Copies of this chain bind each other. A is one copy, B any other.
Amino acid sequence: MVKPPSLQDVATAAGLSPATVSRYLNGSLSLPPDTAARIDAAIEALKYQPNPYARSLSRGRSDTIGLLVPEIDNPFFARLAAAVEREADAAGLALMLYSSLNRKDRELHYLERLRRNFVDGLIFATNHVDDGDLAAAIAQSSNVVVVDEDVAGVAAPKVFSDNVAGGRLAAEHMIALGHRRLAFIGGPEGLMSSQERFSGFRDEAKRAGAGVEAAFFGPYTLDHGREALCRLLKEHPEVTGAFIASDELLFGALETMRNRSVSVGRDLGLVTFDDAGPLAFFDPPITAIRQDVGGLAREAVRALRERLGGTPDNPVCRLPVELVVRKSVHALNAASSTG
């Protein structure tokens, strides 16, 4: 309620000038013990806390970074946000969380905020195909790290999961359980994540002599999951195992399967990607390729800090994924040949 104490107040209380106190606090001045103690005492007595706005104005930076995600109420991005929060906090950085609702205008808006120095840097996660505007806007600001999904043509540090390996693991798993007629249900065809998850899956299937009978690309939505599974059942009844490239798509697919009394695991094996939702509690529990969300956050914050520290290059970091075997793929027969 009452106006908080300023640096001036502390200085007066300690019988010093504001400059001295400031420099002492920021370590650019070392003082004899008794002087230092006087300052410490004054700070303690007044419960002084520096005003972050004055500090940011003066220093030209805010020690605040932003995280932009398409939607925070998607379990994957929620976990990512939590992990980034933790990493940022550990690095002494405050986090501003933004959600773009997957709309380009909002994404540009927040990039603009970066340009205004509202935040020192931005960790950027998008989920839709860019027409070039995003890439252009990102190119304007430095201090952007792209995470999870690529924005084509942008020179910035990038942190991704090893989607190709994820696709490969999914294929391997189903093939090891005897499945030979496979299918893929993925996100937008223009997105790196879709392409990579698909290519890893397809290549491993080919290598193992199995066939990918169908691939359904579309938005990362419930609806696309529902419809893709409808088409799969109708057009490719021979398929016994499907790799579904996100949790959201999985939920749609599950709905269709339940409506048609197609049993998960017995009639159609399912492996999904992300493993952010409570898949272990589904019936049956869903086998998934798990992204290392903590790792993504850690590397993204690390890359951003390096960038803030002046490092000019644009490394691309790939994080390993992991197959979490649950019960959604049954063995098709006794076979377990992998080659």
Q: Check A72 against B85 for contact (C-beta < 8 Å).
A: yes
Any B CB within 8 A of the CB of A1: yes
The residue of chain B having its C-beta at the shortest distance from the C-beta of A248 within the complex is B278
* Residues of A in contact with B (beta carbons under 8 Å apart): 1, 4, 49-54, 56-57, 62, 71-75, 78-79, 81-82, 85, 94-99, 112, 115-118, 141-142, 251, 254-255, 258, 277-278, 280-283
Contacts A4-B117, A96-B96, A142-B1 given; indicate if A71 touches B62 (C-beta within 8 A).
Answer: no
**B283, A116: Cβ atoms closer than 8 Å:** no
**Contact between B81 and A97 (Cβ–Cβ < 8 Å)?**
yes
- Which of B50, B73, B141, B258 is the one whose CB lies under 8 Å from A81? B73
Which chain B positions have C-beta within 8 A of A54?
57
Residues of B within 8 A of A251 (CB): 278, 281
Among B74, B142, B258, point to the contact of A283 (Cβ < 8 A).
B258
- By a CB distance below 8 angstroms, the chain B residues around A52 are 116-118
Which residues of B are found within 8 Å of A1, using beta-carbon distances? Answer: 141-142
Jot down 25 A-B pairs with beta carbons below 8 A, ordered by A: A4-B117, A51-B57, A51-B116, A51-B117, A52-B117, A53-B53, A54-B57, A72-B78, A72-B82, A72-B97, A73-B75, A73-B81, A78-B78, A85-B97, A85-B99, A95-B96, A96-B96, A97-B97, A251-B278, A255-B280, A255-B281, A258-B283, A277-B278, A281-B282, A282-B282
CB distance from A208 to the nearest CB of B (A): 31
Residues of B within 8 A of A72 (CB): 72, 78, 81-82, 85, 97
CB-based contact B51/A53 at 8 Å: no
* A283-B94 Cα distance, complex, nearest whole Å: 41
Query: What CA separation (Å) do A56 and B53 show in the bound complex?
Result: 6
Expressed in whole angstroms, the minimum distance between the Cβ of A154 and any Cβ of chain B is 15
Chain B contacts for A142, CB-based, 8 A: 1
Interchain CA distance A1-B142 in the complex, whole Å: 7
- Set of chain B residues within 8 Å of A280, measured between Cβ atoms: 255
Closest chain B residue to A47, Cβ basis = B115
Q: How far in angstroms is the closest Cβ of chain B from A86? A: 8
Known: A52-B117, A78-B78, A81-B97. 15 other contacts (CB 8 A): A4-B115, A49-B112, A53-B57, A53-B62, A72-B78, A72-B81, A72-B82, A72-B97, A73-B75, A73-B81, A75-B75, A94-B96, A277-B277, A281-B282, A282-B282
Q: What is the CA–CA distance of A79 and B99 in the complex, to the nearest angstrom? A: 12
CB closest chain-B residue, reference A255 = B281
Cβ contacts under 8 Å, A56 to chain B? 53
Chain B residue nearest to A282 (CB atoms) is: B282
Decide if B75 touches A82 in the complex (CB within 8 Å): no
Shortest Cβ gap from A7 to chain B (Å): 13
Contacts of A96 in B (CB 8 A): 94-97
